[in-house]
Amino acid sequence: MKIRGRNRSSIRWKIVLIYCILVFIATTIVGVFLMSSMEEYYINSAKNNMQNTVRGGTLISSIGSYEPLNEHADEIQANVDAWVRGLTQEIFVVDETFYIVAASNANRGKSAADFLDCNIILSALAGETAESQGTLALKTPEIPVLNMAFPIPNDEGEIIGVLYLREDITSLEDSVDQSKQLFTRAMVLAVLITFILGFVISKSITGPINDVTEKAEKMAKGDFSQEVSVKSDDEIGQLAEMFNYLRQQLNDTLSEISGEKNKLETVLRHMADGLIAVDLSGKVIHANHAAMKMLAVTEQDIAEENYDELIQGLNPDLTMENLMKRCEFEPESEVFESAGRFYDIRYDRFRDENGKDVGLIMILQDITQRTKLENMQMDFVANVSHELKTPLTTIKSYTETLLAGALAERETAESFLGIIDSEADRMNRIVKDLLQLSRMENNQEKWNMKEGNLISLLKMAVTKVALTAQTKNQSLNSFFDPDSRVAVIMDKDRIEQVVLNILSNAINYTQDGGRIDIDLVTQQKEAHIIIDDNGIGIPEEELSRVFERFFRVDKARSRSMGGTGLGLAISKQIIEEHGGRIELTSRENRGTKVEIILPLSPAVTRGMPNIE
């Protein structure tokens, strides 16, 4: 980054200027206040002197005894002449017609309106003492004067005239002007001293700052060996200390930023979802490992090709132009399929700090497994509907037939009622199996877990299905030792349900005269129940779905034998709740092998050697 030139002395002069302005403003405010107060004090002193002159004598009362005034002008003039001796003010006695009855100068007999202040005369005739300041324009230069008017009452208290006093205040204003000049010289001197002191003080402040600035500039160029000497404990010294601390911490901060950058790159690299960032020119700014895997490209491809070329193999519709149009106002997302896999893509424009578009960012997620699960859920709902619909349709049709008149034929009615009862039992089994699955999946099933002997349980289960196998002329072959004991922690009824379900499937899907082998072995602290038959088997492409709900290899045959299609799903859930697993291998027309694996009881496994 280029460092622009700067005037190193500019802040110094700013500090000096600020000091001078502050002193000027402060002294000006103080001066104005003092001059105003001084002038006001002088004027008030003059007013008080004039008021004391009038109120301290008997002139007003003596004049008030002459009524009307113009008829006693000589007597009043004699009183004024006797009273005015030793006073500096001019005195005028004015009657109600503004006629000057008496005066201490040559203005007697003239009209007061020609050279006196008529406003204060009117106020005095109204009974108020009035005052004003003005100038005498009869002389050059004009003379500043202070005027005061006092009402003259007669013996009954009526105002019959005005006593008008006028005083020359030239000396007062000269004193104020001299004070102003003195203060102005003092203010200029104060500003000059402030300028000199401000320059010295600012130099002590800006010197360390310039030092810090120079070394900061060197640090900006990559030289982190700079250190500022601390010469004081004030704010400048603290600035120097903080600069040194900054220098000390900067390397650590850069190392930390580098570490965070590596962490972010690691997170993006190992994200399961693909992240792609593209600038407005179509250049891929960033693509993590997951994105490159989904696009089937390499880092070299990312560097050499633009985004539109890279996305062609996945979805030609996801070009830069199309995506920018779709997310013009808000983020967008869509799901698409490519080469048998499903993808969810979310994308939006990204902007700089000024809100201007700088590119496009997108998250690409492989949702193939999720889509398969959703499809399985939909299949499950469809299968439940179908499984319940079939017996309901049968029950409905036979019931309608009975209501239509078949009840009269006892043999037919009993046959129909038997079918209805069988279908109702089938519906009941489906509902019971579904409820059991739901309870287990929601951890609501109550388990009676106790230590038990798997050998005894297996013998009982074989005994229960032996008769069914005999009816099909099938041989049940037990290879385990009936007198031995294999202890596991189990819910006996649930494990027996699993074994009976597997044995029943083996019998049902093995042709007449077939063979079913049952064995139990212990390996590596686990019990393995093995049920092997030579029945019809399961096609290889169907093996991954055998534990799905309502899945049947031979649907028509399964329903005719009363199966619900939920047995293996329930069995798998029960075994997993016991901490075990169930495995199935099969070959079409060659038979099926099911292995139920359960952990042995801890009391048995302690000190027991592993058996390979």
Would you say residue 93 has pLDDT above 80? Answer: yes
* pLDDT tens profile 433-454: 667 666 766 676 777 888 999 9
What does the alpha-carbon distance between residue 461 and residue 493 come to, in Å, rounded to a whole number?
Answer: 11
Quote the CA–CA distance of 123 and 128 in Å, as a whole number: 6
Residue 161: give its domain's CATH number. Answer: 3.30.450.20
Handedness of CA 287, 288, 293, 297 (dihedral sign): positive
Residue 71 and residue 153 share a domain: yes
Of 177-181, 199-203, 324-328, 488-492, give the lowest mean pLDDT range.
Answer: 199-203
Question: Is residue 182 in a domain?
Answer: no
Lookup: tokens for 395: 């029950």
| Same domain? 336 vs 402 | no
> Any bridge partners for residue 149, and if so which?
130, 164
Which range, 56-70, 258-272, 589-603, is most confident?
589-603
Q: Which of 322, 346, 366 represents a domain boundary (last residue)?
A: 366
Question: Is residue 245 located within the same domain as residue 325?
Answer: no
Structure confidence at residue 363 as a pLDDT band (50, 70, 90): confident
Look up tokens 């633009």; give the residue. Answer: 306
Distance CA(268)–CA(243), nearest Å, equals 36
Residue 423 lies in a domain: yes
* 471 and 381 in a common domain: no
Residue keyed to tokens 């850069």: 254
Are 114 and 252 found together in one domain?
A: no
In a domain, 481, yes or no: yes
Q: Are residues 357 and 381 in the same domain?
A: no
Same domain assignment for residues 574 and 500? yes
Same structural domain for residues 284 and 391?
no
Q: Which domain holds residue 344?
A: 270-366
Are 462 and 550 found together in one domain? yes
pLDDT of residue 515: 93
Q: What is the CATH number for 490? A: 3.30.565.10
Give per-residue pLDDT as tens, 533-553.
998 888 887 887 787 766 666
Same structural domain, 422 and 299: no
The two tokens of residue 557 are: 């045959």
Query: Are residues 435 and 349 part of one domain?
Result: no
Is residue 348's pLDDT more than 80? yes
pLDDT in tens, 551-607: 666 554 444 444 556 778 878 888 888 899 999 998 888 899 999 999 998 866 554
Instruction: Tell which of 312, 332, 366 closes a domain.
Output: 366
Last residue in a domain, options 385, 419, 441: 441
* Residue whose tokens read 């201490």: 104
pLDDT confidence of residue 607: 47
Q: Looking at mean pLDDT, say which of 12-21, 500-509, 550-559 comes out highest.
A: 500-509
Q: Locate tokens 């699993």: which residue?
A: 498
* The pair of three-digit structure tokens given for residue 317, joined into one six-digit string: 């519709």
Report how far residue 263's alpha carbon sits from residue 271's, in angstroms, rounded to the nearest whole number. 12
| Inter-residue contact 548 to 376 (CB < 8 Å) | yes
> What are the tens digits of pLDDT across the range 213-227?
777 777 777 666 667
pLDDT number for residue 295: 80
DSSP per residue, 287-326: E-HHHHHHHT--HHHHHHS-HHHHHTTT-TT--HHHHHHH
Q: Do 484 and 345 fall into the same domain?
A: no
pTM: 0.41
Count of domains in the chain?
5
Q: Given a cut of 60, is residue 5 above it in pLDDT? A: no
**Are 494 and 455 spatial neighbours (Cβ–Cβ below 8 Å)?**
no
Residue 376 has pLDDT above 70, yes or no: no
Weakest-pLDDT range from 316-320, 405-409, 452-456: 405-409
